[in-house]
């Protein structure tokens, strides 16, 4: 994901279900979130420290202990070769069956979901899944210098996709998701009714999925990449 808090808005309820089922989840956050918050008296260097701590605390709310930061500057991410290499490195280190990534497409129905950093990270992540991570001749120094063997990711779950078609009922883990988002105090502390906002948004997704009234859902576009 691009920023600290993206995974919690998009997927924390689903992540909590996975970790409860014994699935190991690793977060990789591309930027430091140094353009976040709304208080000009907080230095950007302090904001980086704060946002990393908030993301680590949020991860704990949904059973995730391994959080990796790539340290790119917030607001200036491009789907560059160097980002593809950095994401390929993490994929080869972690060897995941499934990758969750933001959508590289602009979602015209929900403009805030399509921050340029999100689109850049989504594009680079999909390129890292295919072809880079599985191709021994892509970034050969990863294999030669770091011993990182090629790896095939079997599935990508795209978050905030304009073509979401897969819904996860997260009613049972909504409390974990809310706690995770509350841990991002610098981002959500100003929101008047975070819980109400989330319930409204996730209820609409549940209705799209045909779930009964009162249920909450997160939405993804699932790609087979194996
Ligand atoms: Zn973001």
pLDDT of residue 37 exceeding 90: no
Burial 192-202 (b: 16+ CB within 10 A, else e): eebeeebbebb
Question: Is the N-terminal amide bond of 175 cis, ω within 30° of 0?
Answer: no
pLDDT of residue 39: 83
Q: Could you tell me the two tokens for 97?
A: 């069956």
Cα(225) to centroid of ligand 1, in Å? 24
Among 53-57, 61-65, 105-109, the minimum mean pLDDT is found in 105-109
Q: Which helix (H) or strand (E) holds 101?
A: strand 98-102
pLDDT of residue 38 exceeding 90: no
Cα(158) to centroid of ligand 1, in Å? 14
pLDDT of residue 180 exceeding 90: yes
Mean per-residue pLDDT of the chain: 96
Enumerate residues with CB within 5 Å of ligand 1 (an ion).
Answer: 2-3, 6, 115
State mean pLDDT over 161-166: 95
What confidence tier does 112 reach under pLDDT thresholds 50, 70, 90? confident
d(CA 213, CA 204): 10
Cα(152) to centroid of ligand 1, in Å? 27
């Amino acid at each position: 994901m691009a920023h600290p808090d993206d995974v919690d808005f998009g997927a924390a309820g689903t992540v909590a279900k996975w970790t409860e089922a014994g699935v190991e989840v690793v977060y990789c956050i591309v930027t430091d979130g140094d353009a976040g918050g709304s208080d000009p008296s907080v230095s950007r260097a302090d904001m980086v420290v704060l946002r990393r701590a908030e993301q680590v605390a949020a991860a704990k709310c949904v059973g995730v202990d391994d959080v990796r930061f790539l340290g790119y500057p917030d607001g200036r991410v491009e789907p560059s070769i160097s980002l593809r290499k950095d994401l390929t490195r993490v994929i080869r280190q972690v060897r995941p069956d499934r990758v969750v990534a933001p959508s590289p497409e602009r979602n015209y129905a929900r403009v805030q979901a399509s921050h340029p950093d999100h689109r850049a990270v989504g594009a680079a992540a999909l390129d890292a899944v295919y072809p880079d991570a599985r191709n021994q001749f892509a970034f050969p120094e990863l294999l030669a210098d770091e011993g990182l063997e090629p790896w095939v990711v079997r599935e990508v779950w795209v978050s905030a996709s304009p073509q979401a078609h897969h819904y996860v009922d997260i009613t049972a883990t909504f409390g974990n998701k809310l706690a995770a988002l509350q841990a991002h105090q610098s981002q959500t502390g100003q929101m008047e009714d975070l819980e109400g906002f989330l319930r409204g948004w996730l209820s609409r997704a549940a209705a799209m999925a045909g779930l009964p009234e009162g249920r909450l859902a997160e939405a993804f576009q699932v790609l087979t990449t194996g």
